[in-house]
Every structure is written in C-alpha cells, then in structure tokens.
Amino acid sequence: LVRLRARLSRSQNALGKGLLTLLSREHLDEDTWEEVEDTLLTADVGVQPTQELVERLRERVKVLGTRTPQELRGLLREELLTLVGADLDRTVKTEPAPGKPGIVMVVGVNGTGKTTTTGKLARVLVADGRSVVLGAADTFRAAAADQLQTWGERVGAYTVRGPEGGDPASVAFDAVKEGKEMGADVVLIDTAGRLHTKTGLMDELGKVKRVVEKHAPLDEVLLVLDATTGQNGLVQARVFAEVVDITGIVLTKLDGTAKGGIVVAVQRELDVPVKLVGLGEGADDLAPFEPEAFVDALIG
C-alpha cells in the first residue's frame, strides 16, 4: 500500500493537488469552477462524472461557507472516493471448485500489457501459496507463448502452449485439462488481442470461453487496458464487452501517466470495477486497486 501510494504520487498527484489548490481560492467564481472541470477532464475522468462531481463540490463548498484547508481536503477526499467507487467489490475471484481449478481469462488488445499482467498475477498467486497453470492461448503472436513461458519459469508456474498459429481454444482446453490433472488451484489463460478484425476476435474469444466453460466455471474475465491510451481504452473496452462478460479491469502503465481519471471513466463505461493496476514492468509491479491509496496519492 505504501509502495503503491509512493509510486502513484510520483506521477499523478497533479489532479488532486490541482483541485485542492483551486478550491482553496478565496472567491470561487465561474472561472474557477471551469478550471476544476478542465482539471478533471484533462485527467480523463470523463464528461458526465466530471459534471456530477463539480455539482456536488459546488453544493458542499457553498454549505461549508468558510473553508479550512483540512475541511477542504476532507471534502475533496470524500468526493473523489465516491467518484472512484470506494465500496465496489474488487476481489479477483480465483476460488477452485472441488476438483476444479479456478479459471481466469485475461483479454485485451496487444501491447496493453496482457502477457505481463498474466505473469505478474501468477506471481502474486504463487506467492500466496497457490499452484498455477498458465495457458498461452495467444498463438498468433510468435513471441507471446515464449514470453508467457518465461514468466512461468520465473514465478514457478507450468505453461501449456500449442503450435504457433494453432487454435487458441484448443490451448485453453489443454491448459484447463492440465490444470485439473495436476490438481492446480488456478489456471490463467492469456489470449490474443488483435482488433483489426472484430469478427475474428469475437469468434476466437467466444470459442475460448465456451471451451473453457465446458470444463469448469470461469471465475474472472479480466480486461487489460493501457492507462496511457485515454479515450482509446474506452473504445477497446466497449468492443471487448460486446464479446465476453468482463468481470474486472486491469489498468496497466499507471506509472507512466497523470491521467488516473481513466479509472473512473472505464468503470462507468463497463459498470465493472478496476481490480488491479500495473505500476511498472517488473514482477512485483501489480497491485490491487485501493481506492483510498489512489485518492490519497491524488491529493498528495
């Protein structure tokens, strides 16, 4: 938590600090409120959430009258917590059923950090004492299976892979079968994410999902989005949500952006919580999304 706070505050305290400074002005006129809006919009919070937040802030600041810095900070903290959905359930569900491993499918556009996230998640689970099987169902990108296998060797998880260009669904099938036979606790399936043919993607992911579900219930479908891609990430989110039921979002590369507001925008878009965040390329750079730490890092 402390580390997350430090990492986040390094890159993105612009939003919260900016808001706090604006709200501290003696006279809050129309121009100031517009600046508040601009700050939120620049951070990718999105139009509707921004308007709602500004409306609530205006009302509360009015009620407050004179404002001490502590009062303002508390107020801003509360409102930002509401905005990011402080009470959403963000548990990554990986509970095995009797005789069946928990199954997590990881989806997203290539380059967003899907394979890295799968590897990091495996590490977290293994560190937690769980045995993990990785399924390299991204058979399209030549290096993807190698990359995943390297992660597997690094973190102590067995990787199931197929021939290059092979059928992703059959790799997923084999991974779950292997997971069952080995008595593994969790099977993580990395999938391909080429968006250039939407129908191809739909067919492929739909098939992977159906094949997996023949074996055991799918616990999670995690959508990986690159936080630095802004509105583009929202477009991707929509496309994937049409194909599979997303149960959680992983926002990667939050270390490289001041646009943390995307957390709010994407949760609204899909009505699904951000469960994990990527804060770097290293094996330990995956953290649960903690609204409190996030907001505190924003405000500084």
To the nearest whole angstrom, how small is the minimum distance from the Cβ of residue 254 to ligand GDP?
7
User: Does 38 help bind ligand GDP (rule: CB under 6 A)?
Assistant: no
Least gap, CB of 287 to ligand GDP (angstroms) = 10
Decide whether 113 or 261 has the Cβ nearer to ligand GDP: 113
Q: Report in angstroms how near the CB of residue 252 gets to ligand GDP at its nearest.
A: 4
Among 49, 96, 113, 248, binds ligand GDP (CB under 6 A): 113
Q: Is 58 annotated as a binding residue?
A: no
Q: Counting contacts by CB under 6 A, is residue 300 touching ligand GDP?
A: no
DSSP 27: S
Assess contact for 100 and 180: CB atoms under 8 A: yes
Using the contact rule CB under 6 A, the part of the chain among 9-17, 72-80, 164-172, 251-259 near ligand GDP is 251-259
Residue 141 CB, shortest distance to ligand GDP, in Å, is 7
CA distances from 69 to 16, 35, 80, 89, 299 (A): 13, 19, 16, 31, 12
The span from the CA of 252 to the CA of 268, in Å, is 18
Q: How far apart are CA 160 and CA 189, in angstroms?
A: 9
Choose, by CB under 6 A, the member of 36, 94, 105, 114 that binds ligand GDP: 114
- Cβ neighbors of 46 (< 8 A, separation 6 or more) are 261, 264, 265, 268
Does position 204 bind ligand GDP by CB under 6 A?
A: no
* Helix spans in the chain (H): 2-12, 14-23, 30-42, 47-64, 69-84, 114-127, 142-155, 168-182, 198-215, 231-243, 262-270, 291-299
CB of 63 to ligand GDP, least distance (A): 40
Pair of tokens at residue 142:
């030549």
108 is in an annotated binding site: yes
Tell me the residue number closest to ligand GDP, measured at CB: 278
- Site stretch for ligand GDP (CB under 6 A), options 45-53, 111-119, 158-166, 208-216: 111-119
- Consult the annotation and say whether 81 binds a ligand: no
Q: Closest CB to ligand GDP among 216 and 279?
A: 279
238 annotated as belonging to a binding site for a ligand: no
Residues in 270-289 at the binding interface with ligand GDP, rule: CB under 6 A: 278-281, 285
Identified binder of ligand GDP from the candidate list 50, 159, 252, 257, rule CB under 6 A: 252
For every residue of 244-286, DSSP letters joined together read: S---EEEEE-GGG-S-TTHHHHHHHHHT--EEEEE-SSSTT-E
Q: How far is the CB of 128 from ligand GDP (least distance, A)?
A: 20
CB of 34 to ligand GDP, least distance (A): 33
Rounded Cα distance between 266 and 35, Å, is 23
Strand order in the sheet with 220-226: 158-160, 132-137, 186-191, 102-107, 220-226, 248-252, 274-278, 286-288
- Does 229 sit near ligand GDP (CB under 6 A)? no
Query: Within its chain, how far is the Cα of 8 from the centroid?
Result: 15
CA–centroid distance for 284 within its chain: 15
Q: Counting contacts by CB under 6 A, is residue 116 touching ligand GDP?
A: yes
Residue 99, by phi and psi: left (phi above 0), alpha (psi -120 to 50) or beta? left
Look up residue 68 and give its two tokens.
Answer: 């001490």
Q: Which residues bind ligand GDP (CB under 6 A)?
A: 108, 110-116, 252-253, 255-256, 278-281, 285
Residues making up the annotated binding site for GTP are: 108-115, 190-194, 252-255
Residues making up the annotated binding site are: 108-115, 190-194, 252-255
